[in-house]
A and B are shown apart, each in its own frame.
Chain A
Amino acid sequence: MATSPTTVVDQLLAGLHLPDGFDAVAGVIRESLAHVTNSAIWTRYGQQSLEWLIGMNPVDRLFMLSALTLLLMLLLGRLRSAGVLAVLLYGAQFAALLSTDTLFGAPVAAEVRITVADQSLHWSYDALSWFFAMITIGAAFVTAWYAAGSWMRRYREAGQSARAFHVALALNCFGMLLLVGSADLLSLFLGWELVSWASFLLMALVGGPGAQAALKYLAYAISGAMLLLGGIALIYSIGGSFEYGAVVAAIRGMTDVQVWTLLLLLGGGFAVKLGLLPFHLWQAAAYAEAPGAGSVFLGAISARMGLFGIIVFIVGMIGVSRLMTLEIPYTFMSSRELIAWIAALTIIVPTYTALQQHDARYLLAWHGIGQGGYMLLGLMVGDAVGSAGGLLHCFNYAITQAALLMAVFAVVHRTGTADLNQLGGLVTRMPLTFLVLLFGIISLAGLPPMAGFVSKWMVYRSLITEGMPLLFVAAVVGTLGTILSVYKLIHNIFLGQLRVEHQGVAEAPLSMLIPMLGLSALIFLAGFIPGPALSWVAQVQGQLGLPVVPWVLGGIVDPRGGLDMIWLVGILMAGFGVGALVFYGFGGRSRRVHQLDNYAGGHFLTADVHYQYSDNFYAGLMHLIGPWYRGAFRWLERSLAATLDLVSFGAEGLYRVAQPTLLMLAAAVAMLAWVF
């Protein structure tokens, strides 16, 4: 059979396993494709290149498309239509990822490989790679769409380079695709460095506080990479190979002390990227100060690369059962409890830091750090439901955070500020953006009927059935803090008094609204019908050797208490129907009044009176817990930096004032002493 776009689309659709009702959709796609294939240009050039593409190894094809995106953005990034081109290219990457069929099928190795000094770097896609690559390309796709229109025009007007932005985004996506497909320690390290530098590029694009934060990130990222390199060196010195197969064998043969060292090195390296305590300080500012659309991408997926590393090495290769045997001397804890508690503290501390933020971007960025804790916590519980919850939260969180950041940056686009004390009452001006933010906060807080509820429910449930009371309470305390904080977010932006200067604000532009609304629909659907996402997670679990979650279309089936979201969301919608009937069906008609027609203790309100409660929103709570914020981690960071400063100052002084040769000699002796 001749290869044509129609057959390609048919194969893609077959790979999606869609229900029968989608035939009509496929028909429309086929028809519109027929128009393209009948054109002269197509028969001349298109057919050949398509056949070449089809003949390629699927993973190579994915890499090729991603590299092509990067190249085209380098060449054409300055054009006005580059944004649309980027959206199409990310769409093509998504299709290429689907065509690898590595989620439900067998892993596929890429034919591309690089050989350096007898060591070969190679790549391979499996279910885990597919899962993270899907989130990555999806995030790049919605980000590119969000940035394609009005946002980019404003960005250019501010004197920024559109090409630099497009290149940074494409490079991030490319680096992450390489990283999640890495099949040996060297390709892992290559991908890791690429991702680190690419995200630095995206953070530092606009300069100012963003560049400051990016430099701080760089300091953390380099220390993290050094830890990672140390871990890789340790594995190589024991196993003698960089191949994952040999690494698994090497880890199995390691003594407890060696595994502990490996855990500290690799875990530390990945923890920096994920923003686990105490390495979390860089993240909020770096993500919040990035240019709007870049912040969306970074917030949705970038930090999860750290989690990917933890999943591959600590969950997959070392294994939770091995972690449980590693006791910490003089305590009752094993290394698994230690990591679980780090995850729990990563939930609580950043979440309550978010509660104190006055800037919507920072508030969300701090929550992003906290949500990473839920994912790690679920994975550390390690049972079927818990690890599935942790993995599922990666996806649910990514769509949630992307939608939230998009909504906030849409407000910034229209009003010019993200300061929660300078906004208010925008719901009447930007109702659709309000809706997006509302869906997002319900999901972020983990309330039904949105996606975030499902994954958090799974983490809670596993903590209960596995008998971990304190971690459970810690997880819920984090959720409660999130509820408080996100209500402040939506209240201070959209509810309350509309300020005089915002009377003329318009709804977000369509180019930004479409991806926002699409993500909101996805957030709702992933909560209403969690089955498809759970099926991906189940494949990943199977590949990692974890127990597989007993899922159905509506959620989890389990005799000890399951969850069926189709029923729950259905009854909730029915309840809202009843509520609407009671409210709108009975009684007198309500009359809308102006916002100044309000009770003000006997005074009359005028437009110039600020009648809004926004600053220090939880004054009562802060009365009690305010003094608990001691900034201990900032103090630690500062003192470390000061110590380093002092050491380098001393070394410099020695070099300049005393004898350079003496310093060299001392350094050489120290080096020799360390090596032998």
Chain B
Amino acid sequence: MDWLSAMRLDALAAVDFHWLGLVLELMLMPLIAFVAGLGLVLMLRKIAARLQRRVGPPLLQPLWDIIKLHAKETQTSHGLIHEIGIVMAIGGYVAAVTLLPVPGMNGLAQQGGLIALLYMTMIPSLGLALGVGQCANPNGSIGISRALTAMLAYDVPMVIVIFGVAFHFGSLNLVHMIAAQQAGGVATWGMVQMPLLALAGLFALQGMLGKQPFEIYVAPAEIATGPMVEMGGKFLGGLFVMQCFQLYTGGALYVTLFLGGGEHWLTFLFKVFVVTAIPMTIAMVFPRYRTEDMVRLFWKWPTMIGLLGIAFVMN
């Protein structure tokens, strides 16, 4: 058995793909994710506005913001890595969303499962961290140190949730998970089958999206917005795009794991918006935790709930 024969096998398997359709999917999936992400940013601002008794921005405001930031005359770069960091931040998410199946499109979900998706979403964070580091501003570095600590905090309950879900469905393949949940209606949804894990997952989602009370790494008054301190113009614009993808990925992943994915686009996007609205609403009524308190919190409650959830799933 040498790897040449395996290459032929692989090539044969690849023929099964409908090439043109796949290419189209791979182009459409990031585009849809971006547009949905713009909508999620708009919703975030609307929720904040309503809670503060304001009207909030108009429909196309997030898009105009990105265009404005890109069009700015002053574009300050601190070096090549600063620029590449932004490219990685956008590019990593463009790639990651193709692993997340949506109604009618599986993209590359068969080629890499849940763990691959989880680690793929760390690439944008790495890019951002590198870019911020190159800026040579300690405020930014402190922000990244806190953001990475936050990741260490929320990823512990997150991987517990991922273990439980993958064990429950007996697969890491997201397409299988959606099919299994849609087979028996709401009763087979992950949320109904694994309520404790769904709760822990929601907790982790709050941290993952970097919303209050878990946004100490931004802390505008203390470390001058942390990672964003040296970001202006299209550098900030790139981070804006990244945020759109980030909100979409978080929401869509939760829907895929616990809410049966999407039967069609309308229900899918509805679920994504509802799920993402929960952390956003919670965020607006909270101040922020200190880094160590955040770690303590995440390693205590959601971790305990998650482990309890696994205990139920495995029996």
Contact = CB atoms under 8 A, between A and B. Distances in A.
Interface string A616-636: 011111011100000000000
Contacts of B113: 561-563
B111 A599 contact: no
Given A427-B81, A590-B75, A621-B152, A598 B137 contact: yes
A481 B149 CA distance: 9
B285 to A, nearest CB: 24
Contacts of B98: 571
Contacts of A611: 136-138
B108 A568 contact: yes
Nearest to A622: B292
Contact of B139 (A599, A618, A625): A599
Contact of A567 (B72, B111, B137, B230): B111
Interface stretch (A228-236, A472-480, A654-662): A472-480
A593 interface: yes
B149 A618 contact: yes
B213 interface: no
Contacts of A484: 148-149, 152
A511 interface: no
Contact of A591 (B76, B164, B224, B238): B76
B43 to A, nearest CB: 23
B271 interface: no
Given A17-B2, A568-B111, A598-B136, A583 B87 contact: yes
Contact of B90 (A488, A578, A612): A578
Nearest to A577: B91
B168 to A, nearest CB: 11
Given A563-B113, A589-B75, A613-B138, A464 B167 contact: yes
A496 interface: yes
A509 interface: no
Q: Identify whether the interface residues of B are mostly helix, strand, loop, or mixed.
A: helix
Contact of A579 (B88, B130, B144): B88
A78 to B, nearest CB: 43
Interface string B226-243: 000110011101100100
B42 interface: no
B228 to A, nearest CB: 10
Interface in B132-190: 133-139, 141-142, 144-146, 148-149, 151-152, 155-156, 159-160, 163-164, 166-167, 170-173, 176
Interface stretch (A247-255, A275-283, A442-450): A442-450
Contacts of B145: 488, 613, 617-620
B215 to A, nearest CB: 13
Contacts of B74: 588, 591
Interface stretch (A90-98, A168-176, A549-557): A549-557
A425 B156 CA distance: 32
B30 interface: yes
Interface-centre pick from A448, A473, A477, A620 (highest chain B CB count, 10 A): A620
Contacts of B122: 447, 483
Interface string A36-78: 0000000000000000000000000000000000000000000
Given A564-B111, A572-B92, A577-B91, A587 B71 contact: yes
B194 interface: no
A582 interface: yes
A49 to B, nearest CB: 32
A460 B115 contact: yes
Interface stretch (A331-339, A371-379, A531-539): A531-539
A472 B152 contact: no
Contacts of A531: 3, 6-7, 10
Nearest to A532: B3
A521 interface: no
Contacts of A469: 160, 163-164, 167, 307, 310, 314
A469 B136 CA distance: 40
Interface string B279-315: 0000000000011100110000000000100100010
A473 B160 contact: yes
A579 B77 contact: no
Contacts of A424: 136
A598 B135 contact: yes
Interface-centre pick from B7, B135, B136, B171 (highest chain A CB count, 10 A): B136
A592 interface: yes
Contacts of B130: 438, 490, 495
Contacts of B155: 476, 480
Contacts of A588: 70-75, 233-234
Contact of B3 (A17, A490, A600): A17
A448 B159 contact: no
A213 B166 CA distance: 45
B79 A427 contact: yes
A447 B88 CA distance: 13
A25 B114 CA distance: 40
B94 interface: yes
Given A567-B111, A574-B95, A588-B75, A583 B86 contact: yes
B79 A428 contact: yes
A260 interface: no
Contacts of B4: 17, 19
B63 interface: no
A434 B84 CA distance: 13
Interface-centre pick from B76, B141, B146 (highest chain A CB count, 10 A): B141
A457 B116 contact: yes
Contacts of B3: 17, 531-532, 535, 553
Contacts of A461: 115, 172
A476 B89 contact: no
Interface in B1-34: 1-4, 6-7, 9-10, 13, 26, 30
A532 B120 CA distance: 23
10 closest A-B pairs by beta carbon, nearest first, are A620-B291, A561-B172, A495-B133, A579-B91, A587-B70, A575-B95, A579-B90, A575-B94, A613-B138, A576-B91
11 contacts: A464-B167, A490-B130, A554-B10, A572-B120, A575-B95, A576-B92, A587-B69, A587-B71, A592-B78, A617-B145, A620-B146
Interface of A: 17, 19, 104, 424-425, 427-428, 431, 434, 438, 442, 446-448, 453, 457, 460-461, 464-465, 467, 469, 472-473, 476-477, 480-481, 483-484, 487-488, 490-491, 494-498, 531-532, 535, 538-539, 551-554, 557, 559-564, 567-568, 571-572, 574-580, 582-584, 586-593, 595, 597-601, 611-614, 617-621, 623-625
